[in-house]
Amino acid sequence: RIKVGNTYVFLPETDEHMLAFAEKVFASETKGEGVRDEISMFEVQDDCPILQQEMAHHLHTNEDTDKRKVLPPVVDVLLDIPTYLEVPDFQRVAIIGDYASGVTMDDFELSCKGMYRALTIREKYMRLAFQRFPLTSSQYLREIEGEPFKPEHTVQPVFTSPPKKGEDPFNTKCLPENLSWVARMKDGVIYTYKDAAAADQHKPIENMPAPDYITFIDDMNFLIALIAQGPTKTYTHRRLKFLTSKFNVHEMLNEMEEMKELKLNPHRDFYNCRKVDTHIHAAACMNQKHLLRFIKKSYQMDADRVVQNIKGKDVTMKELFANLNLHPYDLTVDSLDVHAGRQTFQRFDKFNAKYNPVGASELRDLYMKTENYIDGEYFARIIKEVASDLEDARYQYAEPRLSIYGCNPNEWTKLSGWFNKHRVFSPQLKWMIQVPRIYDIFRGRNFVPHFGKMLENIFLPVFQATIEPHANPELSIFLKHVTGFDSVDDESKHSGHMFCTKSPKPEEWNIVKNPSYTYYIYYMYANITMINHLRKARGMNTFQFRPHCGEAGAVTHLLASFMTADNISHGLNLKKSPVLQYLYFLAQIPIAMSPLSNNSLFLEYAKSPLLEFLKKGLIVSLSTDDPMQFHYTREPLMEEYAIAAQVFKLSTCDMCEISRNSVLQSGLSDEEKTHFLGSDYLKEGPEGNDIRKTNVAQIRMAYRYETLCYELNLIKEGLKTE
């Protein structure tokens, strides 16, 4: 049973048969996880139980024909959709007939039931964690359930507004008062209690519900079975092909009308539309020429400065370079060797080594770390220079990731100290925390006794700073500027462990082996959910969960993120699963794509699914990932857009739509999004688009909205026949 608004929806529990089937599917999905071959466009697999002969037979049975006659004409969907005065007339694509899904009625009904339950599962977990779920999809789910849709029941994340003119972003006077509450971990999840006595009895504060472990496993098993279900694979495959074809026809009929709209829009063009780099790592946020220039400049200014202490001996910068047999003036971008090339393709290990300039970890520690002998001063200066370039560009923003490893509880204190000491703030930057999935390394070196301790080191300091802001002022200020958490590492590393009810609790996971991707994802999501409830109650900003997902590895990674993540980075493996790809479309889950990064690591540029996803209506944005490794210019995000526009022949409307998606996906505050996108940006369809700010044609927005409604209405009609 799940609560949606003020009503309860009963969902069938996953039985033992489905659990066994889910385990079988998981084994088949992960058996080739360690093989890093390139992905090809998905096709319905040979193991699909719907044989062509069987389909031909079913389509002509009398019972099937009777069922089909019960359905109203699908074309009615278009007639029910409101038209907006501000949308110019354009040519629509209509499918006329009594039956338009292209599969048997039994398969159609089965697929619609699965899609409906999958969407309710995502909606439940998004609401629980104060993350986003599209209004249109929610409205159709209520219609299916026969319940009234209440917009006030929708939830939105809360982000810190930018400081007013003359206001200090590091001011600690505005922090809430301290409370005497207690935060303590139980079974890998941190709960908040009124006092220590309540913690001993495990009586957490009410109105701060945690995800239910058993229910989560049950929902996950259902989704694993769904993505392998033959009829559903066929149905979603056909719908996705239809979406691509429909967009191609729309573009052919309306491209000139869209361009006419944009030409009549004064002052605004692609260059002065706001765009956000939704996925970028702070340690590689500069391009290689910028880093080289900074190294030479720092040597010129600080050659005699002590920058390291090795075994009690102070080492100056001059001595450091001499020990490496280097002189900065002899360095070139080629000898710096931080750019990814042909040698890094399918070699994540070689790619990670590119973070070391000239192959020297000493230079990485000096220039790209927050924690070193000079307290990360050079790294802070590089980031400030990058931020300054963004401020000069005015219309570009970035969301850099800083690392918290969970190796030590003092990591947060040191990171927030670095942030405050060097005043690393810019209105163009929205910070995120990335957590590398490297428990096995820490356990192997005895840094942590079990996985639970790693989770505690990552999340407990955040709880403590939320409960007692004045006891942790620097961390409290830093958390105001953090918008979310990311989970990062090489996804192609195979765990072999299936997350299930028999999985050890984090405190019991004391072996050196790394937990599975889903195990990491669940416990990160659960703790972020608990933090968000606490911070919401205290009137503070909340956090989103935005993991790297679908770059490599099993498609079950994308399934876990479908349940837990507000949005994801990469998403390449959606090509392998038509069911998941269709669900990501219906739930309008944003995907930050980095085709230049993928080109050097996992997938050639021309094979990137970016264009296919955009045509189908998935919410895609462009991001740089690591400008130091992949880009050449001072404006890496514009470089990313320029190359995509040339390779995929994107129109101005396409590029402005991607820019708008990036702002919606980002952790920019409500105040900033209102300024950049218009006061009604939370509304969906043409109503939510202010062409004067976004430069996205209203025809395009109307097409996207009507197409989404059409697909959701199909599901509603499929459930009416029961």
Cβ partners under 8 Å of residue 547, min gap 6: 485, 486, 487, 488, 521, 524, 561, 565, 568, 569
Phi, psi torsion values for 229, nearest 5 degrees: -75, 120
Residue pair 128/536 in contact by the 8 Å Cβ criterion: no
CA dist 151 and 128 (Å) reads 16
Structure tokens at 489: 């590492």
CA dist 571 and 565 (Å) reads 12
Structure tokens at 204: 């957490």
Residue pair 439/455 in contact by the 8 Å Cβ criterion: no
Nearest-10 Cα torsion for 457, 458, 460, 465: 120
Q: Name the strands in the sheet holding 568-570, side by side, starting at the edge strand that comes first in the sequence.
A: 548-549, 568-570, 591-593, 620-622
Question: Among the options 422, 570, 631, 675, which is catalytic?
Answer: 570
Nearest-10 Cα torsion for 593, 599, 604, 609: 0
CA dist 438 and 432 (Å) reads 18
Residue pair 611/356 in contact by the 8 Å Cβ criterion: no
CA dist 506 and 519 (Å) reads 9
Question: Which class for 313: exposed (0-12), middle (13-18), buried (19 or more C-beta within 10 A)?
Answer: exposed
Closest CA to 298 of 332, 335, 330, 328: 328
Catalytic residue status for 290:
no
Q: To 5 degrees, how large is the angle CA 96–CA 98–CA 99? A: 95
CA dist 118 and 236 (Å) reads 13
Task: Provide the CA 284 distance to its chain's centre, in angstroms.
Answer: 19
The amino acid at residue 471 is: A
Residue pair 87/686 in contact by the 8 Å Cβ criterion: yes
190 SS3 class: strand
Nearest-10 Cα torsion for 630, 633, 635, 641: -60
Strands (E), 581-654: 591-593, 620-622
Phi, psi torsion values for 307, nearest 5 degrees: -120, -10
* Catalytic residue set: 570
